Each structure stands twice: as structure tokens, then as C-alpha cells.
Structure 1
Amino acid sequence: MPRHTPGGTLSATRTIGAERTDREGVCIVIGAARAPLFTGTFIALTVGDLAYFTATGVAIFVLPLYVTGPLEHDEVAAGIAFGVFAVSALVLRPFAGRLADRFGRRPLLVGGALLAAACLAATAVATDLVAIIALRLAAGVAEAAFFVAGFAALADIAPTERIGEALSYNSLGLYLGIALGPLLGEALLENLGYPAAWLGASGLALLAAALVLIVGETRPSSTEHDGPFRILHRPSIPVSIGFLTSLAAVGGFLAFASLHARRVGLADPSLALFAYGGIVVVCRIAFARLPDRLPSLPLAAAALGTIATGLIFAALWQDPWGFVLGIAVMALGVTFSTPAFFSAVFATAAPSERGLASGTASAAIDLGLGIGPILLGFVAAPYGIPWAFGLAAAIAAIGAVWTLRLAGGARPQPVTTQDP
């Protein structure tokens, strides 16, 4: 059975093989049989994520163009429309985590996908900024439910010793969605117009609802809920702050990538987001096992430093090649940031707290994707998008320093194996 300490969750499983102890005192099992990862449930959850986040990728590409085009607003309005969903998602995500622990993952997964489909369909007929903002707030509710329950379900079904690998593969749905969604959005926009783009995204969200319905309920049946009602998982808060800085930097980039691609002369603007998502996908596959082999917090700090470097390239080298190079370097950092940070978060949580920990950590996503685009919008409007990218680089660099300080203060506990 797992053994828990005040500092986190220590995995304990029956293994076959020799053991050795590394320099930090952590027991490593050599030659142990690997528990299966690619089950039907894992695949259904990952493909459901792909459908959901492809719909999100369509919105990422189309929304800023819609706000600055047909609605005739500026970059500030585009940043607000892009990031305002974080207000509702931030408030509800911790509650979603607690609900996922008490009532199960499936109701939130299915309900979140259905609500997202409704919001995207309604955007097709929205004709003013106020309506767009209202729909984005509702989309934040959907995001809170789907994302928190999805990560909790992933932690339920993934073998403990392969959680970093599971996060790497599962997140392919997110980044393939970000890579393919803009291409689909641009194709629909160019050939059929804005309403078709929004309705296409809505159909993908409906597909996600059908797929996660197949997943079934993954919440451990032995989970106890007799403790006090909490909406925050305190041990994961310091790690989540570092994660927030990565999302603020990357979220600001995503909000203005399509606009900047056009202004630097990139022939096909959707290629910017396609390159970003595609590089992350390839690297996540190539290095899927690395997050389980390296200390989580130092890896996360290195990822933040790489993100900052890529943003500096994009800010200073203002032509298509410079922009693509910046995207490539930043995407390399993003490859390891989410698996590293979530591995560190789940190491602090018992099975009965996975939803709570997921809700707390993913609240950083709302803050980052909300604060980043809005803050960068206020810089981009008077000074230009390159200055906004420079600010994003500074945010990522500060996060790297913070995370390194956390790593320096960590005191890893030895892991022992016990019979179940």
C-alpha cells in the first residue's frame, strides 16, 4: 500500500528486481516489471482530451482575429476576451477538485465538455464584446470541470512509478489540439467564415463528451471523505506558484501569436501555433520517460529558463525565421514544464486528495492564462507585441528562480517497497 508522509506521497508497490539508493537517498528498483500504462481507459481519456483541446486550439486562433476583425476592437480587448475565462475557472477549479474527490471524475468530465460545446456554438451568433466575455466566463466553468477531473482521473489510472510518463503521453492531446486546432480553425475561417469555425469547435467538444463517457468512473472506491471540507491543497501551493509563471508567459504568447505572425510576415499565420504544438508533441513522445528519471523541481526550473530564452528570441528577432526559432526553443521548455510540475504536485497528495491537488495546481493555469494575456495586452497596445514577449520572458525567468529555491529546500524521503 502507499505510505504517506507530511511531505508527500511515497509510492510502495510489489516489485521484482534489485534495489539501489541514489545520492539523494531515494530507493530505485532495477529490473522491475513495468505496470501497464496503455489501457483502454487511458487511451479513451487521452483521445477525449485531444478532441476537447482541438476545439480549444480553434478558439485560440480564431478569437483574437474575431475580436480585432469583425468586432473592431484593439489588442487590449483581444487580451481581455482571451483571458477572462480565467476569472470563473479560477474560482471554480478548487471546488471542482473537491467535487471530483467526493462525487467522481466522470460527471465533471462529461458536464465540462458539454458546457464547452454550448459556449462555442453560442459564440457563432455573438455580435458584441460583452456577449463574447460572458461566453468566455461560462467556458471557464467548463474548463475547470473538465481539466481538473481529467488530471485526477489520469492520476487514478496511471501506475505510480510511471506518472511522469503518463502525463507526457496524455498531454499530447492538449498539444496536438493546440497544433491542429489553429489549422482547422484557419481552414474553416478561410472557406466558410467565423460561424463555421465556432460550430466546428463545438462539434469537437461534443465528441470529447462522448469519449470521456466511455472512460467510466476512476475514483478509488476506498477513498474517504470524513475530513473537513477544503478547496485548497496547501502542500502543492508553492509548486503551483512556479507553474503559474510558466502559464502566464506561455498564455501571453498564445494570445498574440497569430497577430504577431502576420505582422512579421509569416505567410501562413496558423503555422506559428502548429509549430509550437507540433514540437511539444514530438518532444513529449521522444522524452516521455525523462520526467520519471530526473528530480521534478530542477527539471521544472530548467524548463522555465528555456521558455524565457525562446521568448527573448521571439521578441528581439522580428522576422519569420526569428519568430519560428523562438517558438521552437519555447516549445522545448514547455515539453517538460507540465509533467515536471504535476509530478511534483501529485507527490504531495494521497489518493483521496488527487482531485483537490489537481484543482489547486490547475488554478495556476487559470491565473497564468488569465493574467498573462491581459497583462501583455496592456503592454502590446502602446509599445508593441515584441515588448509584451519580453515581459513574458521576464515572468518565466522569475519563475525559474523561485522553482530553483524550492528545489534547494526540498528534503526527499526514501521510498520503500512493501507487500500489498
Structure 2
Amino acid sequence: MARLLTPRFALLTAADLGYFTAIGIAVYALPLYVTGPLHESEAAAGLAFGAFAVSALLLRPFAGRLADRIGRRPLLVGGAALAALSLALTALATGLPMIIALRLLLGVAEAAFFVAGFAALVDIAPPDRLGEALSLNSLGLYLGLAAGPPLGEVLAQRSFPTAWLTAGALCVAAAVASVFIGETGTPTTTNTKLIHRPAVPPSIALCTSLAAIGGFLAFAALRAQDEGFENTSLPLFLYGATVVVSRVVFAKIPDRLPPLTLGAAALAVIALGMILTALPHTLVAGSVVLGIGVTFSTPAFFAAVFATAAPHQRGAASGTASAFIDIGLGGGPILLGLVANASIPAALVTGGALAAAGCLWTLALRRAH
């Protein structure tokens, strides 16, 4: 069996950990910074928070094509360096327009780093261990997003500039790690397309899973409050902890099952979990079930996506799939939020219905394949 845990794999995972810990700091600090020192409204904080997704979504396909043409390392290093600049300069922001401009710049960085990172991972992972590689590498992302907010709280208590400069320094560390990874792909002069069309069908299935999960992340604390939880963050903690632990314990499973079969099963589990979160007294169980579903959904669908791409098309495939991630995580909460105005349990059930529809779509893809 080919070796997976190589120095390049470790460096890529370390770069992800540094980058996404910085993003986690920003997740915590930005709303407080906008409504505190800048004296803006909660609506302004929401606008600032979501601004990066606009540029990230629009630029991911371009980043994918660029990663195929000039290689992965320039985008990894450049994306991390651009994120460091955006986050560090936030310490100097004195108004909402500058904050929004810096968040849009962070979206450019996100598109470059995220797309190139996935393409590089597929380059360096043994083909027969790609699912395991996706599972283990994603720990950098999940641990970073989990550790970033508590770290941001500690730093912001000292001062907001301390939090922003620390986040910038973590991105600099990610850029340095990316330099030592080296170039993983072979730049091509082939006229690759912005959208890798064969990646679209499995990406649609991935999108349904993330739309459901986005709704859960948005309304889990409110649901816990309605259920009388003293610690309303418990469902979110259980969900995240389940994903992290399960991806370590079951890392080899995605390589032992066909990706679309595993993806359909994962979507069915996510649908069940969403329904459990909506029922009385089963929010804790539902959060754990959701974590189990997400453990397998992302590795399965990314494996299906990259199975459609030749080595010189991996950047385009990554850009296409990650654009659907933005659509799911951004559009899911908006769609389910409309339902939540009437009933949060109804919104969670709607999320389950989206995942169930994705399951049926994936089964149809499997039969066609």
C-alpha cells in the first residue's frame, strides 16, 4: 500500500490548520469588532461577515483554472499571504466600508487557497487512499474552525488588534508551510474550462448535504434554547466533536466503498439526523447522527468529483465543487431561514427533505454511472 502520511501531506494539513484557525478567530471577532469599536449595527455585522462569500464564490472557478495553468503552490502561497494582509489590516479599519473591502479581499484569498489546497491534496494522495486522505486532511480545517473562536475570545479580551494580528501571523505561517510543500501538479497549457462539467452532478449532491447542515448550524442554538438546554452550544459541540473523532476512526472507510454509494448513504443519515433535531427531546441524538453523516459525505462526493478529472483538470474540478460548497452553506440558511420564521422544527425538517432529495439524486447518478 502506498504511503499517505508523507512530509508533504503533513505540511499541507499544517497549512490548513494555520489558515482555518485564523478564519476561526475572525468568525468570533468580526461581529464584536463591528458592533463594538466601530459602533455599527448587527445588520452591518452580518453584511461584513458575508461579504467574503461573494468574491469567493465568483472567483473559485477562475482559481481552479489558474491552479491547472500555473500550478498549486502559487495559489496556496498567494492565497495565504493575501489572507494575512486582509486580516492584519482589519486592525486598522475605522469604518464599515473598509471592513467590507477587506472581507472581499479575504474572499479572493479563500478562493485561491481552498481550491489549490484540494487540488494539491489529490496530487499527493495515493489514488487508492484518496478517501482516507480527504478525511484526515479535513481535520486541519475542522480543528482550526473549532479552536479559532475560543482563541479569538482570549485574544480579543486583550485587544482587537492583538486578535487580528495573530490571525494574520497564522496565515503567514500557512504561507511558509505552503512554500515547503513544493509544486504538486504539472502546469498545463491546455485550454481548461472554468466549469468542469462532469463534476457538476456529484457537486449538486454535495450541495444538498451542505444546505441541510448550514441550516442546522444556523438554528441549532435557537432549537436548544426552545428545548430548554442550559448550554445552548451543546448540539454544535457534539456535532463538531463527532465529525472530528469519526474521521479519525473511520478514515479508511471511504476507500472501501464506491463514492456514490457511500454518498447516498451519508445523505440518508443526514436526513435522519435533521428530522431527529426537529423532534422533541432528540436534539442531542440528532446532532450526533448529523456528525456521522457529514463524516462520510464530503470525502465521498469529493472522491466522486475528482474521479471525473484528469490530473490537469483537478484545479477546475476543485473550483467547481467548492463553488457548490458556497452555494450550499450560504443558500441553505437563507432558504431554511424563510421557513424558520414560522417554525424552527419545520425548517430543520425541510433541511432533512433537501438531504433526502440529494440521496435520491445520488442513487440516480449511481445507476446512470
The reply to whether TM is greater than 0.5 is yes
1:133-180: per-residue Cα shift (whole Å, max 9, x none)? Answer: 443332221111001100111111111111111111111111112322
> Which residue, 181, 192, 196 being the options, matches 2:158?
192
For 1:288 and 1:86, locate their aligned partners in 2 and report how far apart those are by CA, in whole Å: 30
For 1:374 and 1:127, locate their aligned partners in 2 and report how far apart those are by CA, in whole Å: 29
Gap change, CA 1:43 and 1:392, over 3 Å in 2: same
Which secondary structure state, in structure 1, belongs to the residue aligned with residue 42 of structure 2?
Answer: coil
For 1:152 and 1:360, locate their aligned partners in 2 and report how far apart those are by CA, in whole Å: 11
> Which residue, 271, 278, 289 being the options, matches 2:252?
289
Q: Which residue identity lines up with residue 391 of structure 1 in the other structure?
A: T
Gap change, CA 1:346 and 1:396, over 3 Å in 2: same
> Going by fraction, where is helix more abundant, 1 or 2?
2
1:321-343: per-residue Cα shift (whole Å, max 9, x none)? Answer: 75443322111111001110011
For 1:404 and 1:132, locate their aligned partners in 2 and report how far apart those are by CA, in whole Å: 44
Which residue number corresponds to residue 204 of structure 1? 170
> Which residue, 288, 294, 297 being the options, matches 1:337?
297
Quick check: 1:215 aligned with 2:184?
no
For 1:61 and 1:307, locate their aligned partners in 2 and report how far apart those are by CA, in whole Å: 27
1:367-386: per-residue Cα shift (whole Å, max 9, x none)? Answer: 12222233344444x34654
Q: Which residue identity lines up with residue 73 of structure 1 in the other structure?
A: E
1:371-408: per-residue Cα shift (whole Å, max 9, x none)? Answer: 2233344444x346544434333322222221121112
Which residue number corresponds to residue 214 of structure 2? 251
Instruction: Measure how far apart 1:219 and its partner are.
Output: 1.1
Which secondary structure state, in structure 2, belongs to the residue aligned with residue 35 of structure 1?
Answer: coil
Which secondary structure state, in structure 2, belongs to the residue aligned with residue 37 of structure 1?
Answer: coil
For 1:259 and 1:64, locate their aligned partners in 2 and report how far apart those are by CA, in whole Å: 18
> Which residue, 276, 286, 296 being the options, matches 2:239?
276
Instruction: Measure how far apart 1:131 and its partner are.
Output: 4.7
Gap change, CA 1:78 and 1:181, over 3 Å in 2: same
User: Which 10-residue stretch deviates more, 208-217 or 285-294?
Assistant: 208-217
Q: Which residue identity lines up with residue 105 of structure 2 in the other structure?
A: A
The 8 Å contact of residues 183 and 271 in structure 1, kept in 2 or not, is answered as no
User: Which 10-residue stretch deviates more, 384-393 or 169-178?
Assistant: 384-393
Which residue number corresponds to residue 397 of structure 1? 356
Gap change, CA 1:270 and 1:300, over 3 Å in 2: same
The 8 Å contact of residues 199 and 317 in structure 2, kept in 1 or not, is answered as yes
The 8 Å contact of residues 179 and 276 in structure 1, kept in 2 or not, is answered as no
User: Which 10-residue stretch deviates more, 81-90 or 44-53?
Assistant: 81-90
Q: Which residue identity lines up with residue 305 of structure 2 in the other structure?
A: V
Which secondary structure state, in structure 2, belongs to the residue aligned with residue 171 of structure 1?
Answer: helix
Tell me the TM-score normalized by structure 2: 0.88
How is 1:121-132 mapped onto 2 (pairs within 5 angstroms)? 121-124=88-91, 126=93, 131-132=98-99
Quick check: 1:356 aligned with 2:316?
yes
The 8 Å contact of residues 209 and 328 in structure 2, kept in 1 or not, is answered as yes
Which residue number corresponds to residue 409 of structure 1? 368
The 8 Å contact of residues 31 and 42 in structure 2, kept in 1 or not, is answered as no
Which residue number corresponds to residue 139 of structure 1? 106
Quick check: 1:173 aligned with 2:140?
yes
Q: Which residue identity lines up with residue 310 of structure 2 in the other structure?
A: A
Aligned Cα RMSD in Å? 2.8
Gap change, CA 1:351 and 1:265, over 3 Å in 2: same
Where structure 2 has 5 or more consecutive residues not aligned to the other structure, the ranges are: none
The 8 Å contact of residues 61 and 258 in structure 1, kept in 2 or not, is answered as no
Which residue number corresponds to residue 73 of structure 2? 106
1:303-322: per-residue Cα shift (whole Å, max 9, x none)? Answer: 122223223333334xxx75
The 8 Å contact of residues 51 and 204 in structure 1, kept in 2 or not, is answered as yes
For 2:255 and 2:233, locate their aligned partners in 1 and report how far apart those are by CA, in whole Å: 33
For 2:202 and 2:80, locate their aligned partners in 1 and report how far apart those are by CA, in whole Å: 28
For 1:305 and 1:177, locate their aligned partners in 2 and report how far apart those are by CA, in whole Å: 28
Gap change, CA 1:357 and 1:123, over 3 Å in 2: same
Instruction: Measure how far apart 1:216 and its partner are.
Output: 1.3
Which secondary structure state, in structure 2, belongs to the residue aligned with residue 218 of structure 1?
Answer: coil
Quick check: 1:325 aligned with 2:285?
yes
Instruction: Measure how far apart 1:193 and its partner are.
Output: 5.8
Instruction: Measure how far apart 1:286 and its partner are.
Output: 0.8
The 8 Å contact of residues 83 and 373 in structure 1, kept in 2 or not, is answered as no
For 2:33 and 2:272, locate their aligned partners in 1 and report how far apart those are by CA, in whole Å: 30
Aligned pairs, number: 367
Which residue number corresponds to residue 41 of structure 2? 72
For 1:327 and 1:63, locate their aligned partners in 2 and report how far apart those are by CA, in whole Å: 27
Q: Between Structure 1 and Structure 2, whose CA radius of gyration is higher?
A: 1
> Which residue, 96, 115, 120 being the options, matches 1:148?
115
Instruction: Measure how far apart 1:61 and its partner are.
Output: 4.2
For 1:322 and 1:192, locate their aligned partners in 2 and report how far apart those are by CA, in whole Å: 39
1:201-234: per-residue Cα shift (whole Å, max 9, x none)? Answer: 33322221221122111113xx5423x3411111
For 1:201 and 1:263, locate their aligned partners in 2 and report how far apart those are by CA, in whole Å: 35
The 8 Å contact of residues 79 and 374 in structure 1, kept in 2 or not, is answered as no
Tell me the TM-score normalized by structure 1: 0.78
Q: Which residue identity lines up with residue 4 of structure 2 in the other structure?
A: L
Gap change, CA 1:207 and 1:303, over 3 Å in 2: same
For 2:162 and 2:224, locate their aligned partners in 1 and report how far apart those are by CA, in whole Å: 23
Gap change, CA 1:55 and 1:328, over 3 Å in 2: farther
For 2:359 and 2:23, locate their aligned partners in 1 and report how far apart those are by CA, in whole Å: 27
